[in-house]
């Protein structure tokens, strides 16, 4: 869930919970309020003052991601992210990151289905430089065919190393394609190989000119600054960039109600142990009905969130059917979310045994729900993580950025702990019955391919010849 991102150690958790012991509303422990502003050209600013250290985190969030790519151009959003470091009329190719590094800072970028984000961490007095550089490449990117084709090869190699060489990544990619039949979330952010190979300078620049504009972006600055300082700097840099009235997000195809469960089976000689995965189509925080997303979050914490969860205790500790069980709720999408489970079989148990045990546990949970004690423990854990995340500028900036870029508000972020506190046992039972539904699921099974005796003999002969 995008409002909380850090996992606490036991000591940190205990310390935070001790602070909460006498509070009726834990959110009051946070004297933190983001400041908002909008420039005349449409750029939205969010400033999160944090004066504990003379550093700032600067992030530009564009309202465009892989789900907004034209048909047949899967991967162009991520491809453009790479190309954004290639220079402008003022900055030579490859110099952007070097300038940041020479000024003692760090920079990077990432692409998701719904957003493309560029971020830097620098000393406070270097913020004017960073804003000047980022504002420059917002509309002044300079590319040529040679640069684009070279970087395309880099992206293809990234896909080969991260996806094509990983059986689990291939399975995950295929499961997503099966889960989202109509919606573009079914295509991988990095793109399909055959479509990446066809991307060119024209594709990149058309995507850039259409979506990279101040009125399609959010600037998040967290750290040793004031709202007034950021406003002044933003006007002097980003304020000079003209808005692009032609910016228009195309409507995305929506999913038809799922009618049947789907299964994806992958056999690969590179796989280690056999594994089980399951995805369920679910709403995101942006699209869920009031209170549902919070209830799903808590449900997954109770069911499969770590070594104290119900599934871990039953399948791993007590029954020893699995060596590991994990569950999660991907909740940050603009249009949809998903619930996920993953498990590895233990000893002589098969993946079929794991699947049956997990389905049995889900059915029991839907019927009985959690106890009040389990619910309170899950709430305390999440609220503690939320508060502990304040210690990280990056976490703060991402927390607000993720919410706003998909349609949320500052208020959504800051009042999340209060909404979490309102969730009841009945709420969790309701979302479990509504969303842990077989027909809305995709099950993925990964099996290793064992070498045949003949293949083993051939391999042995080759080894002896080389010796």
**Among the listed residues 414, 419, 416, 415, the one whose alpha carbon sits nearest the alpha carbon of residue 33:** 414
Give the ranges where 246-350 is alpha helix by DSSP (H): 292-304, 310-311
The H or E element spanning position 282 is strand 275-282
- What is the residue whose two structure tokens read 């000689």? 269
Neighbour-count burial of 205, counting CB atoms closer than 10 A to its CB (0-12 exposed, 13-18 middle, 19+ buried): middle
**Among the listed residues 436, 429, 54, 39, the one whose alpha carbon sits nearest the alpha carbon of residue 235:** 39
CA distance 59 to 107: 10
For 127, residues 6+ apart whose C-beta sits below 8 A from its C-beta are 56, 58, 221, 225, 230, 233
**CB neighbourhood size of 174 (10 A):** 17
Tally of residues, the chain: 467
Q: What is the DSSP string of 181-234?
A: SSSGGGS-TT--HHHHTT--HHHHHHHHHHH-SGGGEEEEEEES--HHHHHHHH
CA distance 20 to 382: 12
**Beta-sheet strands, E only, within 74-130:** 106-111, 116-123
For 445, residues 6+ apart whose C-beta sits below 8 A from its C-beta are 263, 264, 265, 266, 274, 275, 276, 277, 351
Cβ atoms 341, 277 nearer than 8 A? yes
Catalytically active residues, by annotation: 81
**Among the listed residues 24, 461, 25, 40, the one whose alpha carbon sits nearest the alpha carbon of residue 240:** 40
């Amino acid at each position: 869930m995008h409002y909380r991102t850090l996992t606490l150690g036991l000591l940190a958790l205990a310390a935070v919970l001790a602070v909460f012991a006498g509070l009726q509303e834990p959110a009051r422990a946070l004297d933190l309020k983001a400041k908002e502003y909008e420039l005349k050209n449409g750029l939205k600013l969010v400033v999160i003052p944090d004066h504990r250290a003379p550093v700032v985190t600067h992030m530009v969030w564009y309202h465009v991601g892989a789900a907004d790519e034209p048909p047949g151009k899967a991967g162009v959003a991520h491809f453009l992210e790479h190309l954004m470091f290639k220079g402008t009329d003022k900055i030579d190719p490859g110099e952007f990151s070097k300038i940041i590094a020479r000024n003692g800072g760090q920079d990077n970028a990432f692409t998701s289905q719904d957003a493309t984000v560029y971020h830097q961490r620098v000393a406070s007095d270097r913020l004017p430089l960073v804003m000047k550089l980022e504002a420059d490449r917002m509309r002044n990117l300079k590319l040529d065919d040679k640069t684009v084709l070279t970087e395309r090869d880099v992206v293809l190699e990234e896909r080969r190393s991260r996806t094509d060489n990983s059986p689990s990544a291939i399975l995950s990619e295929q499961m997503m394609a099966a889960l989202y039949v109509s919606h573009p979330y079914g295509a991988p952010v990095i793109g399909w190989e055959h479509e990446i190979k066809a991307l060119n300078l024209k594709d990149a620049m058309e995507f850039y000119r259409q979506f990279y504009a101040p009125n399609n972006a959010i600037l998040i600055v967290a750290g040793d600054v004031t709202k007034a300082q950021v406003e002044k700097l933003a006007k002097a840099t980003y304020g000079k960039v003209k808005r692009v009235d032609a910016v228009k997000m195309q409507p995305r195809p929506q999913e038809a109600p799922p009618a049947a469960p789907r299964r994806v089976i992958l056999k690969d000689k590179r796989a280690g142990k056999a594994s089980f995965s399951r995805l369920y189509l679910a709403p995101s925080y942006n699209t869920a009905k009031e209170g549902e997303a919070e209830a799903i979050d808590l449900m997954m914490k109770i069911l499969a969130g770590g070594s104290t969860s119900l599934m871990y205790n039953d399948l791993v500790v007590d029954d020893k059917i699995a060596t590991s069980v994990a569950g999660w709720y991907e909740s940050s999408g603009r249009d949809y979310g998903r619930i996920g489970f993953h498990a590895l079989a233990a000893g002589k148990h098969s993946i079929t045994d794991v699947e049956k045990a997990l389905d049995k546990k889900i059915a029991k949970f839907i019927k009985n729900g959690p106890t009040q004690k389990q619910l309170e423990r899950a709430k305390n854990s999440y609220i503690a993580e939320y508060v502990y995340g304040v210690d990280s500028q990056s976490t703060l900036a991402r927390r607000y950025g993720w919410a706003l870029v998909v349609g949320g508000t500052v208020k959504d972020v800051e009042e999340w702990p209060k909404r979490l506190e309102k969730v009841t046992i009945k709420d969790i039972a309701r979302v479990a019955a509504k969303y842990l539904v077989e027909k809305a699921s995709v099950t993925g099974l990964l099996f290793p391919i064992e070498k045949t005796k003949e293949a083993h003999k051939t391999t042995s002969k080759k080894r002896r010849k080389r010796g």
